[in-house]
Chains A and B, each alone.
Chain A
């Protein structure tokens, strides 16, 4: 079973509109961290936003916010006022508080491709 599920292979949004990218996760741990990364066509991976499992408020970073629903095990990324430069692949990832070999190993979803239309 996948630990991170991103069900939308591709999404389209009009410039200046908001868009939500879905992410659900599977863990039995109480302590974990959730991350979103952006990968533009140039290929680099860019960290966007982090949400801890004990954080009571949804994380926000500029135009990015994370809609964290713990009971539903979902961590959706909301991008407000989309820009053409937001066109990219977006990956959701989770780190569980289980030490493997001395490290917390993150698991990545398969990604969602977002295209912003002018």
Chain B
């Protein structure tokens, strides 16, 4: 059982380049999330998707776009990378509308923008 998978694990981009971070889950969860983690800042929500076909902005959406391709997959796109987007990115999934259900996280993508 793979859980939540993310690709790539590491990426270095030059300013202005674009890339897509891929995420997939095999737990039949409806809700999926993208976070960024910066030192001393905890996890900040970029975008989330409550169910297939819906996406919503989180706390720090500027500079990012997302696609909920199907129930399993939720991708994050950086159209024009900036050094401020250097971070570790986590994808997570969870059951729909269950307060008590924890999130399952992917292994993270470490992105450096030079």
Q: Which residues of A contact B (CB under 8 A)?
A: 4, 9, 31-33, 35, 37, 43-45, 47, 50, 52, 91, 95, 97, 99-106, 108-111
| Known contacts A44-B107, A110-B41, A110-B42, A100 near B100 by CB under 8 Å | no
Chain A to chain B contacts (Cβ below 8 Å), 11 pairs: A33-B100, A35-B102, A45-B92, A47-B102, A52-B99, A91-B42, A101-B48, A102-B54, A104-B99, A110-B41, A111-B42
Chain A residues contacting B104 (CB-CB under 8 Å) are: 47
Q: How does the 8 Å CB contact mask read for B48-71 relative to A, with 1 for contact and 0 for none?
A: 101100111010000000000000
Chain B residues contacting A105 (CB-CB under 8 Å) are: 45, 48, 58
Write the nearest CB–CB distance from A23 to chain B, whole angstroms.
12
The answer to whether B105 touches A45 (Cβ under 8 A) is yes
Q: B92, B97, B103: which contacts A99 (Cβ < 8 A)?
A: B97
Interface size on B, residues (CB 8 A): 31
Write the nearest CB–CB distance from A112 to chain B, whole angstroms.
10
The DSSP consensus for interface residues of chain B is loop
The CA of A44 and the CA of B42, in the complex, are separated in Å by 14
**Chain A residue at minimal CB-CB distance from B108:** A43
How many interface contacts (CB-CB < 8 Å) are there between A and B? 66
Give chain B interface residues in 73-99, CB to chain A under 8 Å. 88, 90, 92, 94, 96-99
The DSSP consensus for interface residues of chain A is strand
| Known contacts A43-B107, A44-B107, A104 near B97 by CB under 8 Å | yes
Q: B35, B97, B105, B108: which contacts A103 (Cβ < 8 A)?
A: B97
Write the nearest CB–CB distance from A57 to chain B, whole angstroms.
14
Write the nearest CB–CB distance from A105 to chain B, whole angstroms.
6
The CA of A35 and the CA of B102, in the complex, are separated in Å by 7
The CA of A52 and the CA of B101, in the complex, are separated in Å by 10
A35, A47, A103 interface centre (most CB from chain B within 10 Å): A103
The CA of A102 and the CA of B30, in the complex, are separated in Å by 10
The CA of A9 and the CA of B105, in the complex, are separated in Å by 23
Chain A residues contacting B103 (CB-CB under 8 Å) are: 35, 45, 47, 106
Write the nearest CB–CB distance from B56 to chain A, whole angstroms.
4
Chain B residues contacting A44 (CB-CB under 8 Å) are: 105, 107-108
The CA of A109 and the CA of B104, in the complex, are separated in Å by 17
